[in-house]
Chain A
Amino acid sequence: MAQVTLRKVVKKYDEVLAVRGIDLDIVDKEFIVLVGPSGCGKSTTLRMIAGLEEISDGDIAIGGDIVNDVPPKDRDIAMVFQNYALYPHMNVYENMSFGLKLKRTPKDEIERRVKQAAQILDITELLDRKPKQLSGGQRQRVAMGRAIVRDPKVFLFDEPLSNLDAKLRVQMRTEIKKVHQKVRTTTVYVTHDQVEAMTLADRVVVMNAGLIEQVGAPNDLYHSPATKFVAGFIGSPAMNFLPCQLEQAAGALRVRLSDKLSFPVPSDRTARYTSHAGKSGLVLGLRPEHIAETRPHVEPNQHDFDMAIDVVEPMGMETLVYFTINGTEVCGRVNPNAGAADGKPMKLRADLSNMHLIDDASGKVL
């Protein structure tokens, strides 16, 4: 049983607040990913859980016990670092057993555990190699092995894949997920890569400027972001943000993007949005995949409009088109066969059923 609980945790460096009071409940066996841009406080949070940084205020509990003043070695955690931090002068076996040896674990017990972990990670034949003789992916495995061997309450990962090349990163991502399914240890994983966050996490914690923006399952974050920051951070290419006005005319709401362009708000959103009609500082959030080429049959809440395309980026399975509405660049994803071309006009279709209305001042999704 190892849940991790953060209560109003604050980290101050001199007078700079790196983490500004966060609350987080991580349940047992859960895979949590902390994601956010660099400097958002995610690594600091992880290091506070590890005990590598003192917390300035608040409480951290692991397995129900408050560990604020417990040194790292007594917190029963294991950590995988960005650059792996393998001891260069020890071979793989010694690297993995170092922690156990310091704890005076019996020799045969150490051997059993190392062998077992090596088996899980498929590194049995590397045990007597030095880190220098290993490839990036192998080092990554050994670093994980070192964590597994100790059979801790919590695994902590600090951007473990960012030193790998793109192909290996995808491969190791799957590997980490598989390992977690096998050992089922509570895991806190820090990354700046939202794809990694989405693919690995049971729940994703999006952080920004020392605060938690939103916590939720990957799909929830994608489909119902709570804030503009989350909406823009999750998903690639990023969501389009278009300044808009909400007009009420004859009992129907319309979002107006420019003098010429406006769309009716889907009827199921009308009740939610009515009170915001006429307000300034509203932004329409629409993901690129909800702006596509027009299709012959009419569908509810989908509306055609004409646009001159600025730039076309063929991606293979899809084509990205860029155009400008009222000075804002907008991205859409169209079928490669839809005939999009640089500088040519095109009929596009917006799917308003997936729209988000955002109050720009507070950053909240309405």
Chain B
Amino acid sequence: MADAAVATASDRAASRPRYGSMSRDRRWALRWSYFFLILFAIFFLTPPIYMFITSLKTSAEISAESNPWWVYNPTLSNYIELLTQNTYLTFFRNSAIVSVITVVITMTISVIAAFALARMRFWGSATLATGVFLTYLIPETLLFIPLFKMFAWVNETFGIQLMNNWWTMLILYPTLTVPFATWIMIGYFASIPKELDEAALIDGATWMQTLTKIFIPVALPGIIAATIFTFTVSWAQFLYPLAFTTSTTELVLPVGIITTLIKGDVFNWGQIMTGALLGAAPPLIIYAFLMDYYIAGLTAGATKG
């Protein structure tokens, strides 16, 4: 009885606006927040969920008139077909090798360079730091044409065929990843107190020992963030492989899916969605496990420095 009275009282209170009641305002703000968050979550998650739905369908079901948002006869045949197909596995392997080696190259170059720029100072080092940042702002869409021509010239002059080789990506991708990784590593290194390297200096460490024994362990979160970023960018890169590779044996995933699974006007949507979803899996898995580092790297890029 008492409960009911309270309930109706609060219902009535909720139905018309009351001023001066902080907690009631807050509760409504909270409800609206959740309401809109759900709406936005639907907006943001629909495409990947739809990818998943489609990937479970047969071609027959895809072209049927039935509800596209529902799977009536779920099947794994798309997955099985792709994962037993040599071309798709080649794309995946190419992507994996290119991304992992790019990460190694990028982190080696940028961690060492960032340490020199953040701590050791030399003639022109401040200009170089700014230069690194500017390079990071230059998009690949500005560079692919001159690079295309340069690579043709290398072939004519030295007889080294850089076109249509997956390993050419190892030359191209670092142009995208090194400036950014260096930039955020400069930020992380600069946030380490100066006294720490002085203490190491007095303790008798060389510059290399200071880097490997003090700076790298202390800046580990930054290094993880930069590594994740480098991997994600390499994995997702689309323009360079599209412009520089054509043979199916040399393609990486994004280009491979688009050029081989789409044959003329025939779209095998079940397989395309499956391929795209599997291709999106590595970054998503890394993100799921290392979200905090991922986000730290994301915000550091624009705020550090």
Chain A residues within CB distance 8 Å of chain B: 50-52, 71-73, 77-79, 81-85, 87-89, 98-99, 102-103, 146, 150
Contact = CB atoms under 8 A, between A and B. Distances in A.
17 contacts: A50-B198, A51-B202, A72-B201, A81-B195, A81-B198, A83-B193, A85-B196, A85-B199, A87-B214, A88-B218, A89-B217, A89-B220, A98-B205, A98-B213, A99-B204, A102-B204, A103-B204
Given A88-B218, A89-B217, A99 B195 contact: no
B209 interface: yes
Nearest to B193: A83
Interface string B201-212: 111110001000
A52 B209 contact: no
A98 B196 contact: no
Interface in B186-238: 193, 195-196, 198-205, 209, 213-214, 217-218, 220
Contacts of B214: 87
A73 B203 contact: yes
A85 B203 contact: no
Contacts, number: 56
A89 B202 contact: no
Given A83-B193, A89-B217, A102 B198 contact: no
Contact of B202 (A78, A84, A88): A78
Given A79-B198, A87-B218, A73 B204 contact: yes
Nearest to B205: A102
Instruction: Give the one of B201, B203, B217 with max A CB within 10 A.
Output: B203
Contacts of A103: 204
B204 A85 contact: no
Contacts of A77: 202
B218 A73 contact: no
A83 B192 CA distance: 12
Nearest to A147: B202
A79 B200 CA distance: 10
A77 B204 CA distance: 10
B198 to A, nearest CB: 5
A50 B200 CA distance: 12
A89 to B, nearest CB: 4
B193 A73 contact: no
A139 B213 CA distance: 20
A83 B194 CA distance: 10
Contacts of B205: 73, 98, 102
Q: Is the interface of A mostly helix, strand, loop or mixed?
A: loop
Interface string B104-145: 000000000000000000000000000000000000000000
Contact of B193 (A52, A85, A89): A85
Contacts of B209: 102
A84 B196 CA distance: 9
Nearest to B195: A85
Given A87-B214, A102-B209, A81 B201 contact: no
B202 A79 contact: yes
Contacts of A88: 218
Contacts of B198: 50, 52, 72, 79, 81, 85
A179 B196 CA distance: 24
A77 B203 CA distance: 9
A334 B213 CA distance: 59
Contacts of A146: 199, 203
Given A81-B199, A83-B195, A89 B204 contact: no
A88 B218 CA distance: 7
A322 B217 CA distance: 57
Given A87-B214, A87-B218, A102-B205, A79 B199 contact: yes
Nearest to A47: B198
Nearest to A52: B198
Given A52-B201, A89-B220, A146-B199, 10 more contacts: A73-B202, A77-B202, A79-B198, A84-B195, A87-B196, A87-B200, A89-B217, A89-B218, A98-B203, A150-B203
A72 B202 contact: yes
A104 to B, nearest CB: 10
A88 B198 CA distance: 14
Nearest to A81: B195
Contacts of B196: 85, 87
A326 to B, nearest CB: 48
A82 B209 CA distance: 23
Interface string B228-260: 000000000000000000000000000000000
Nearest to A79: B202
A82 B204 CA distance: 20
A50 B218 CA distance: 24
A89 B223 CA distance: 15
A304 B220 CA distance: 70
Nearest to B209: A102
A98 B203 CA distance: 7
5 A-B pairs with least C-beta separation: A99-B203, A85-B195, A73-B204, A85-B199, A81-B195
B249 to A, nearest CB: 44
A44 to B, nearest CB: 13
Contacts of A82: 195
B191 to A, nearest CB: 12
A50 B203 contact: no
Contacts of A102: 203-205, 209
B201 A73 contact: yes
A83 B193 CA distance: 9
B113 to A, nearest CB: 22
A50 B217 CA distance: 26
